[in-house]
Structure 1
Amino acid sequence: MGALIEELDFASASASEDDRRGLYDVVTAWAVENVPDEDPPPFEDRAARWTSPDELGFEPPRFAVAREAGKIVGFVQVKISAAEANAHLAMVTVLVLPRHRRRGIGTALLREVPAMVSGRTVIESWSVFQGSPGEHFAAARGFRVITSMTRQRLVLGEPPETRAVPDGYELVTWRGAAPEEFVETYVDGLNAMADAPFGETALASGHSTVESVRREEETADNRVLLLLHEGEVAAVTVVQLNPVVPSIAEQLETVVLPAHRGKGLGRLVKARMLHDLTGVEQIFTRTSSGNEHMLRVNHSLGYEDIYVYLAVQAKTADLQA
């Protein structure tokens, strides 16, 4: 008899603690298999991700799970966004415990996706490790690779030396809510990320507004460094502090405005940020594998490459399940 497939609402009171832990056990096994030298996020951290919108406005995920003898042995996670810019897209992850693979469970879970994506016409997954069984599974079901990302880690010891801020430039930093006098300039900097290389993704990263920044500030603990030139944004970098594990942080956006590129300002703002992260021991970031300049900047700061993962895409109507 095959696995039983059914939907599960992780955040609902009807979801048992055993089922919540069962989902976590599957994702932990996947993480350990692909990144054996990195500790998986604790349950509380994963639970927070599964019950809150993400930074791009995607709603908390929906799940369908595969059970054998009542135990969760795999799941499909589906995330959709209420934003019009991503109304065509669903983000999907299929995971199966290693010892339960090659028995059709992943395929059965994938069959649940069209009914779960609420009419979205394009499906992407950004959690396929290069060279893993997941890459082969995705290719066999008609997904194509649209970009690759390099995950990097910095073990923070003595912060790197930084050069002086060039004449005509000014550094502004804050943690939490952006000061009113700088929030619009900060938004301009975030929107300059639009030309960052992310392959052929159908994902619209979204146009930041003061309102969207204020909404994110309600749930995220961000530290921001803004570099100004004559009152206008020249560069910005953002680090998000982990609410569950204070010693870990995530380097998010770093962008230098076109008129200010070629002056080493990207490295400058990143290096300066590292001096402000008291209590942080490890910082993680992801960079497009095609963004050779930013990879070099990160390496110069002490980041090491830990793995490459792929984004894959398929049309909902063409799923070969």
Structure 2
Amino acid sequence: MGVVIEALDFACAAQTDRRGLYEVATAWAAEDAPDREQAPVEAYVAMWESRNDLGFEPARFVVARESGKVVGYAQAEISEAEANAHLALVTVVVLPSHRRRGIGTALLRAVPSLLNGQTVIESWSVGPDEPGEHFAAAHGFRVITSMTRQRLLLTDPPPVAEVPSGYELVTWQGAAPEEFVEAYVEGLNAIADAPFGETVLDHAHNTVESIRKDEAEATSDRWVVLLLHSGEVAGVTVVERNSAKPEYAEQLQTVVLPAHRGKGLGLLIKSRMLHELDGVEIVFTRTSSENAHMLRVNHALGYEDQYTYMAVQAKTADLQA
């Protein structure tokens, strides 16, 4: 019996299929980073069932089956936000034992069936000099940026510098207080000028309404440190707990607004954040490899580089070529 490509509704998927997706994903992860601790199946399920931190919807799947067993998959995430309505985030993975048989190509060509007219696709999980890079290049994708994955063992948080005159730090866990939510949104959207290569992904489309929706749908703790200057936003940083492994957390956005840069405020707010993370033992983050300043800040806090990965991009119309 040959390989069959078919859609899979993850919400209704049998446990055997969910386990099959997990086995494919972890085989790929282990190949890219053999020394990295593998996330449990619950972490993958939580990731696939929820919106990601950029507001993209839960993953949609097509799978490759051989004798009923999942041997590969393509997942696509699309966004409700108008700013990213043109873009789908796509990942194609095949078990190492089943490569070079055209399965990845068949999955990639099935991706448009998961979309709602998105014209551009990007994949943000391509390891340099790995099979995924060669597959992407062979199918017309181009590299648009590189990211560095970092990890911090949170034992003794570093000291927090004195807050400069005229500035104020505000912290919270969970939903943003009403009096700060607009400043919070403005701070998050200031990430628009951060270096992210040639991606068409809009990181700066937050609104009060979208933030409140994210908060209402949240399944894990989120901490925020907001920096104000004379009552106006000067910076913000956000960390989210891993819902499957609560001792882990992900450092998300860190932004200092242009008028306040060059004063060490990024280091200030990120060091303060590390004192807020009750019960967290390890913090992960991803930073553009072009963002030398933020990489230096993270190193100063004790983060260690784990690995780099790339984002690649293609036009959806070219997938059928």
Give the TM-score taking structure 2 as reference length. Answer: 0.96
Contact 1:141 1:320 (C-alpha < 8 Å) held by counterparts: no
Residue identity in the other structure for 2:227: L
In structure 2, what residue type is equivalent to 1:235?
G
For residues 81-92 of structure 1, what are the structure 2 equivalents within 5 Å? 81-92=79-90
> Which moved further from structure 2: 146-155 or 210-219?
210-219
Q: Post-superposition shift, 1:206? A: 4.0
2:77 counterpart SS class: strand
Q: Which residue of 2 aligns with 1:156?
A: 154
Structure 1 partner of 2:289:
289
- Retained in 1: the 8 A contact 2:187–2:233? yes
In the alignment, structure 1 segments of 5+ residues that lack a partner are: none
Q: Is the 8 A contact 1:142 1:320 kept in 2?
A: no
- 2:311 corresponds in structure 1 to 311
SS in 2 for 1:240: strand
2:32 counterpart residue number: 34
- Residue type matched to 1:4 in 2? V
Q: Which residue of 1 aligns with 2:225?
A: 225
Q: Distance in 1 between matches of 2:313 and 2:130?
A: 17
Question: Residues 58-137 of structure 1 correspond to what in structure 2 (within 5 A)?
Answer: 58-137=56-135
1:170 Cα deviation (Å)?
Answer: 1.0
Supply the distance in 2 between the matched residues of 1:133 and 1:244 (Cα, whole angstroms): 29
The 1-side partners of 2:68 and 2:294 are apart by 47
Q: CA RMSD in A?
A: 1.3
How many Å apart are 1:182 and its aligned residue?
Answer: 1.2
Residue 308 of structure 2 aligns to a residue in which SS? strand
Q: Which residue of 2 aligns with 1:192?
A: 190
Q: Partner amino acid for 1:59?
A: E
The answer (yes or no) to whether the contact 1:234–1:260 under 8 Å persists in 2 is yes
What amino acid does structure 1 have at the position aligned with 2:146?
S
How many Å separate the matches in 2 of 1:68 and 1:312? 28
| Alpha-carbon distance in 1 for matches of 2:315, 2:31 | 28
Once the two structures are superposed, residues 38-94 of structure 1 have per-residue CA deviations (whole angstroms, 9 ceiling, x without a partner) of 222221221122122223222211111111121111001011123222221111100
- Equivalent pair of 1:4/1:67 in contact (CA under 8 Å): yes
Q: Which amino acid aligns with 1:306?
A: Q
Q: Which amino acid aligns with 2:253?
A: E
Asked if the contact 1:246/1:279 (under 8 Å) is kept, the reply is yes
Shift of 1:320: 6.5
Distance in 2 (CA, whole Å) between partners of 1:242 and 1:179 is: 23
Partner of 1:211: 209
Any conservation in 1 of the 2:192–2:202 contact (CA below 8 Å)?
no
- TM-score, with structure 1 as normaliser: 0.96
Residue type of the alignment partner of 1:138: A
Give the letter aligned to residue 304 of structure 1.
E
Task: Give, as a single letter, the amino acid of the residue that structure 1 aligns with 2:47.
Answer: R
Q: SS of the counterpart of 1:319?
A: helix
Equivalents in 1 of 2:171, 2:125: separation in Å?
Answer: 32
Structure 2 spans left out of the alignment, 5+ residues: none
User: Match of 2:243, as an amino acid?
Assistant: P
Query: 1:307, 1:36 → 2: CA distance?
Result: 11
CA distance in 2, matches of 1:207, 1:120: 17
Q: Deviations over 1:161-183 (max 9, x none)?
A: 22211111111100001111111
State the alpha-carbon separation in 2 of the partners of residues 294 and 202 from structure 1.
21
1:277 to partner: Cα distance: 1.2
Deviations, residues 173-214 of structure 1 (Å, cap 9, x unaligned): 000011111111111111111111111111122421111111
